[in-house]
A and B are shown apart, each in its own frame.
Chain A
Amino acid sequence: MDKVDKIPAIKLTGLKKRYGTGDAAVDALKGVDMIVWPGEVVGLIGPSGSGKSTLLKCLGAVIEPTSGHMELAGETIYDDGWKIPDLRALRRDRIGFVFQAPYLIPFLDVTDNVALLPMLAGVDNAAARKRALELLTALDVAHRAGAQVSQLSGGEQQRVAIARSLANHAPIILADEPTAPLDSERALAVVHILNEMAVQFQTAIIVVTHDEKIIPTFKRIYQIRDGKTHEEAGEGRAI
């Protein structure tokens, strides 16, 4: 199917974000345009202070943009104001998050760390754990399902975090520097997994990164500079 026939997973038009007012006002985003398609992994790169985190927080419905238009899977969620009343439910059901550090819940075992998300959405415990095990199997960490978080390696923890982000069938995953703490081999492995998951679950994944090791793997890259995005073709190097 051609992209023309698809509904974009993410579509941003003229998205702006201003912090503060008056003389102290800072325009972090000055009209961002972006399209990400289902099953696609897109890189978002830029120097520190360029607005990457602000854009990620707007996409994650954690902070409110100042103006612009934002669609998720064809539904307008922001148009000069939030169009969704329950942003918490939006984050829980439609957006997956992968962080720089895995930020797993240390007092839950691996399975429940993944199953927690469906449980929060009201899925019963047994079904949530079944879903968690499926994802852990897909990410090749099912053998650590009963382990405590502290017993996992860094790479394993990041895979569990990816499994958690997929647990509610979210059409979008926002990954914030997911390979920063990992060595080259493990970093590339994580990107490989993200690519696989994107294809397997038709999830759109935006990866914010500074990591020179993984930038050549993206087919499409958004460079953000001074609050504006510039689309570039990536190398799409095979992993």
Chain B
Amino acid sequence: MINLATRDILHGWGRFLFTGVGLGLLIGVTLSMAGIFRGMVDDAQVLIDNSGADIWVVQQGTLGPYAEPSSIRDDAWRGIAGMPGVAETGNAAYLTIQMSHAGKESRVMIVGMDVDRPGRPGAPGYLTAGRPVLQGHYEAIADERAGLHLGERVRLRRHEYTVVGLTRRMVSSSGDPMIFVALKDAQEIQFLKDNDALVNERARTAANPAFNRPGIPGLLEAAQAGAAQSRNVNTVLVRLAPGANPDVVAGEIQRWKRLTAYTRAQMEEILVAKLIATSAKQIGMFLVILSVVTAAIVAFIIYTMTMAKVREIAVLKLIGAKNRTIATMILQQALGLGLIGFMVGRVAAGLWAPVFPKYVLLLPGDAIGGFFILMVISALASVVAIRAALAIDPAEAIGG
């Protein structure tokens, strides 16, 4: 038996292909939405992986350092470093700022890290060019997506920094590229006020009788010096010794240091389940709507194509074609349309993914899953047309 669906498609292949391309663009959008969600999850995962930490120690009762503000003293690491199971600690400060570079504005995440010795948690895991930050001040390592080049100087708040190294896929949970600087620099960027603010603050402090008491020399200067600098960081990153149980070590840190400590699993939960939960639901809603729209479009196209063949279907039924033969023809056309749509959509999503400002991760598993979902949608969408075709009276082929 010849395949009626294939013959019909080949007979009007141009129209069929054009319809498939249109559907494919819609499917491309659907795949891209899934890719955006995967990219968000991957950004969160990358953020955790790139920190090089097994435990994050943050201000008590906060979900810091990524999901909520957290502030702890920058010497807290000393007490943590001596605890059983802790192999290495590193201070880290994170803040997102607007960077102006080459006439363009972009958001970047500044990461302050310990630069006293290499390999501390918080430093970028690898460099694609250049060298690590060696000086205590005004050197930076930038993610390639920040658009900076080796040797380039970039202004971050009050000071200019020289890019000495480049790295890749070091992004915040929002997908902003990271710029790594020395911890002291990050603290300055984060807390140091501008000169006008400092002058005003000093005048305000000098006018405060509590800090400017007659007969206590040096009190005002000490108060003003304290206001001009910060000794806080957002987190202490902890790397565990081999064999150490992260839950036990985190529990000990919480118990003895009056701080909150999160294990890697808990941090993944915070970043994936809490931080991007709303975005994930938003994208999930879009995916549901796009799936419904896709089903409606496939159903409409297949129904229209079927209704254009009422006479042919009536003749087929009159000359003895089984309902199964006619239903199979319509089903195969719906699946064929879905197949063309999927191929066009997958190619389109792959082509436009790099243009998106945020990372779009198109996983083969998602594509395969999407393909099967699309086939099911196409099959379900053909039901309306099949019902209509089976309702066609073979008598319609006979005049009168």
Contacts and interface: CB of A to CB of B under 8 A. Distances in A.
B316 A105 contact: yes
Interface stretch (B2-10, B360-368, B382-390): B2-10
Nearest to A115: B2
A213 interface: no
Given A62-B398, A116-B2, A93 B320 contact: yes
Interface stretch (A96-104, A151-159, A183-191, A194-202): A96-104
Given A103-B315, A105-B316, A106-B312, A120 B1 contact: yes
B312 A120 contact: no
B318 A97 contact: yes
B2 A60 contact: no
Interface residues of A, number: 33
Contacts of B317: 88
A230 interface: no
A60 B319 contact: no
A60 B395 CA distance: 9
Interface string A71-100: 000000000000000001101110001011
A56 B398 CA distance: 8
Contact of A106 (B1, B11, B318, B322): B11
A208 to B, nearest CB: 9
Contacts of B2: 108, 112, 115-116, 119, 125
Interface residues of B, number: 26
Main secondary structure, interface of A, reads helix
Contact of B399 (A100, A116, A125): A100
B103 interface: no
A120 B318 CA distance: 12
Max chain B C-beta neighbours (<10 A), residue from A91, A93, A103? A103
B320 A120 contact: yes
Contact of B400 (A53, A93, A117): A53
Contacts of A93: 320
A130 interface: no
Interface in A160-179: 164, 176-177
B330 to A, nearest CB: 13
A91 B399 contact: no
Interface of B: 1-2, 4, 7-8, 10-12, 311-312, 315-322, 325, 393-395, 397-400
10 contacts: A53-B400, A60-B318, A88-B317, A91-B394, A97-B318, A99-B398, A116-B2, A117-B320, A119-B1, A120-B1
The 9 closest A-B pairs by CB, nearest first: A92-B320, A53-B400, A107-B11, A107-B8, A62-B395, A107-B7, A103-B315, A119-B1, A100-B399
Interface of A: 52-54, 56-57, 60, 62-63, 88-89, 91-93, 97, 99-100, 103, 105-108, 112, 115-117, 119-121, 125, 148, 164, 176-177
Given A88-B320, A108-B2, A120-B321, 20 more contacts: A56-B398, A57-B395, A88-B317, A91-B320, A92-B321, A97-B319, A99-B315, A99-B397, A100-B399, A103-B311, A103-B312, A105-B4, A105-B316, A107-B7, A107-B11, A112-B7, A115-B2, A116-B319, A120-B325, A148-B11
